[in-house]
Amino acid sequence: MADDEKSMLYRLRPLTDRLPAVTRPEGHVHFRTKMLWVVAILVLYFVMTNVFLYGLDTENTIDMFAQYRAILAGAQGSLMHLGIGPIVTGSIIMQLFVGAKIIKLDLQNPEDKAIYQGTQKFLVIVMIIVEAVPQVFGYLEPSNAFIDNLGGMFGGSGLGIAQFLIVLQLCIGSYIVFLMDEVVSKWGIGSGISLFIAAGVAEAIFTGTVNWYPLDSSAAMSLQNPPAGTIPKSIYLIANMSAGDLANGGYETILIQQPNPVIALLGTIVIFMFVAYAESSRIELPLAHGTARGARGRYPIKLIYASNIPVILMAALLANYQMIALLLYTNSTLSKIPLIGHNSFLGIYDPVNYQTNPIGGVAWYLSTPRGVTDWLLPILNPDKWSYVVFDHSPSLVVIRVMIYFSVMVLGSVLFAKFWIMTTNMGPEAVARQIEGSGMQIPGFRRDPRVLKRVLDRYIPVVTIISGAVVGGLAAGADLIGTTGNASGTGVLLAVGILIQFYEAMGREQMMEMHPVLRGFFGGE
């Protein structure tokens, strides 16, 4: 590419080349070493979720990402408070700008791809600051003791210094998460982002299923304060309720009432089985080696070809919209911005009673339903359940469900197309990969252009279907509900991630036994 045709992002190169990064291994990393890195990073992730921000007033914090907590792989008030949000948001912005040709980069060109990755890394740092600062100034309050101590040390009230130190902790923790993702992708197996999501969702499902502590830990266990987990809650209520009490609301409490009703556990199991089936569905193109007679193989084009990344990106986009809408409506400074400040069309919030849950506006229509109690029961019996949907009419609840489902499906399709384009999974890139490995489709000339024409029949169509399937599965799972507030999207992601991780382990072991296959699978 000529110098005058290069993207303006090349001007950032002196900065992006100096950002802290994880170096790639110079040679092949053995399977055992990769697994050790994965385990070590997982342990570090769980440690960080339990290291709380120093100086934070834990009793007066508001979790802006409460409904997306499992998907964003974070923990409220900890070093992982922002989770993978800044990383995914930076990826969304870069994909949209490159996909819309606003940023002109050829990702097949190694130099352009390096600029893309470096700029994305810089954008992640920007997004860490953008997400950390608004939360600290209004929603993550420092404790009075912390403020007083700093005031005594440096003079003044100490509030500004305390807020700065909390922002600094969030920034350091979030960038460590970014480096952990790089360690897994370069030295381990799979993606660190996916690994953190699966770990967080698995933890949420486990505690939501078997947690035997009462809903209100400060009060004694009773029929009004039963165990929080699905199984202990059901056993406790059945054992301590009379037959009349069970018939007059007990079974309803066990089966459908939040938190962690039985229907959510059954929904989680159904989602798990359905996603496992969808992940196994694929089209396999026969391949034969051009020179080694008898050497045959297959190139799988999976039904979920774009994996679960489109849903992660879509969930992060919705989470960021909820954060912006909440800030514009409730923040004392941002709510004064003309036109968009305190605009009920963007979203209506009642921070006193519902904190971060929208009760109206676009934010309510785009908020994630949490099981059948959040939409189906208010439609069937509005007199009893309308309070759950903030007294919206059944027709508006139906519209909300349709909008949420449509946005998830269409958004996932859009991100699936961008993801395929930016990760060398398109027809042209796959054709070059197959041709470079010495393989060809039997009955066709060994020519990348011929391979591309064959792959053009499948990959673009499967990409759209893939995005629609994962978006529909995620939205449908959210409507059914899951245990542990993991969200249907979270369960979908966790199951897909675990299956893909298992397949990746199989490929790594295969390459360990047959080094010739490393080139075909993109290994070193």
Q: List, as one string, the DSSP characters of 470-502.
A: HHHHHHHHHHH--GGG--HHHHHHHHHHHHHHH
Residue 468's CB is within 10 A of a number of other CB atoms, namely 17
As a whole number of angstroms, the distance between CA 199 and CA 241 comes to 36
As a whole number of angstroms, the distance between CA 400 and CA 393 comes to 11
As a whole number of angstroms, the distance between CA 360 and CA 167 comes to 30
* Sheet hosting strand 282-289, strand order edge to edge: 296-302, 282-289, 439-440
As a whole number of angstroms, the distance between CA 344 and CA 361 comes to 6
**Is 143 in a helix, a strand, or coil?**
coil
Q: How far is CA 5 from CA 91, 306, 489, 501, in A?
A: 24, 31, 41, 40
As a whole number of angstroms, the distance between CA 457 and CA 136 comes to 50
As a whole number of angstroms, the distance between CA 326 and CA 337 comes to 13
Contact status, residue 174 vs residue 163, Cβ threshold 8 Å: no
Tens digits of residue pLDDT in 472-503: 988 988 888 888 878 877 888 888 888 888 88
Which residue type does 194 have? S
Contact status, residue 491 vs residue 481, Cβ threshold 8 Å: no
Tens digits of residue pLDDT in 60-111: 777 777 777 777 888 888 999 998 889 888 888 887 787 767 788 877 788 8
Burial of 489 (0-12, 13-18, 19+ CB in 10 A): buried
Tens digits of residue pLDDT in 372-386: 888 988 998 899 889
Evaluated on CA atoms 2, 5, 9, 12, the torsion sign reads: positive
As a whole number of angstroms, the distance between CA 196 and CA 179 comes to 13
Mean pLDDT by 10 residues, the chain (524 residues): 64 84 82 91 92 86 76 85 88 78 78 85 91 82 88 80 92 92 89 87 90 86 90 93 87 85 88 83 78 68 84 86 89 88 93 81 92 89 89 95 96 90 81 77 75 87 91 88 82 84 81 57 52
As a whole number of angstroms, the distance between CA 276 and CA 286 comes to 24
As a whole number of angstroms, the distance between CA 375 and CA 367 comes to 12
Read out DSSP for 366-379?
A: HSPP-SGGGTHHHH
As a whole number of angstroms, the distance between CA 74 and CA 198 comes to 12
285-289 LR contacts (CB < 8 Å, sep 24+): 285/441, 285/454, 285/455, 285/458, 286/441, 286/442, 287/434, 287/439, 287/440, 287/441, 287/442, 288/439, 288/440, 288/441, 288/442, 289/438, 289/439, 289/440
Instruction: Calculate the CA 392 to chain-centre distance.
Output: 29
Residue 404's CB is within 10 A of a number of other CB atoms, namely 21
177-179-183 Cα angle (round to 5): 115
As a whole number of angstroms, the distance between CA 492 and CA 70 comes to 12
What is the bridge-based pairing of β-strands 358-360 and 348-349? Answer: antiparallel
Burial of 210 (0-12, 13-18, 19+ CB in 10 A): middle
As a whole number of angstroms, the distance between CA 357 and CA 215 comes to 20
Helix-helix angle 230-240:192-210, to 10 degrees? 10
The structure's pTM equals: 0.78
Instruction: Calculate the CA 186 to chain-centre distance.
Output: 20
pLDDT, residue 97, reads: 80
- Give the H/E segment covering residue 439: strand 439-440
- Strands annotated E in 309-389: 348-349, 358-360
All residues at 6 or more sequence positions from 277 whose CB lies less than 8 Å from its CB, including other chains: none
Instruction: Calculate the CA 101 to chain-centre distance.
Output: 25
Three-class secondary structure assignment of 163-217: HHHHHHHHHHHHHHHHHHHHHHHHHCCCCHHHHHHHHHHHHHHHHHHHCCCECCC
HSE of 77, CA atoms in CB hemisphere, 13 A: 14
pLDDT, residue 1, reads: 47
pLDDT, residue 356, reads: 81
Read out DSSP for 252-307?
A: HHHHTSSSS-HHHHHHHHHHHHHHHHHHH-EEEEEEEESSSTT-EEEEEEETTTTT
